[in-house]
Amino acid sequence: MITLKHRLCALGIGVLLAGAGCTPPPAAQPSVPSGGPAAQASTPADRPANTTTQRSSQPADSVNVEVTPSTVSVPNPLYHPGRSESLDITGKLEGPKSITLTGNITFIVTRESSHGRPVNVMNTTVVLHNEDGKREQFETKSVYLVEPDGRLKLLYKGSGSDQRWVENSTCAGEPRDYIDGHSQGCEVRFDNGSTETSTTAVSKDGDYLKVTEISKTTDKDGQRDGSETYWLDPTTGHFVRYSGAVTGSDGYQLTLTGN
* CA-to-CA separations, 125 to 28, 43, 132, 218, 221, in angstroms, rounded: 28, 26, 21, 23, 23
208: domain range? 4-26+66-258
Q: Give the E-state strand segments of 84-194 in sequence order.
A: 84-94, 99-114, 117-129, 135-146, 152-159, 162-169, 177-179, 183-190
Cα gap 8→89, rounded to integer Å: 15
pTM for the structure as a whole = 0.75
The predicted pLDDT at position 12 comes to 54
Mean pLDDT calculated for residue range 147-156: 90
Is residue 36 a part of any domain in this protein? no
58-115 pLDDT, tens per residue? 444 445 555 444 589 999 999 999 999 999 999 998 988 899 999 999 999 999 988 8
The total of structural domains in the chain comes to: 1
105-151 pLDDT, tens per residue? 999 999 998 888 889 999 999 899 988 889 989 888 999 998 888 89
Is residue 162 a part of any domain in this protein? yes
32: which residues sit within 8 A by CB, 6+ positions away?
2, 6, 9, 10, 24, 25
| Mean per-residue pLDDT over the chain, rounded | 79
Is residue 118 a part of any domain in this protein? yes
Phi then psi dihedrals of residue 75, to 5 deg: -60, 140
73: which residues sit within 8 A by CB, 6+ positions away?
65, 66, 67, 177, 178, 179, 180, 209, 234
Is residue 152 a part of any domain in this protein? yes
Is residue 37 a part of any domain in this protein? no
Is residue 13 a part of any domain in this protein? yes
Which value, to the nearest 10 degrees, does the dihedral of the CA atoms of residues 177, 178, 179, 180 take? -170
Is residue 77 a part of any domain in this protein? yes
DSSP 71: -
Q: What is the CATH number of the domain that holds 216?
A: 2.40.128
Is residue 38 a part of any domain in this protein? no
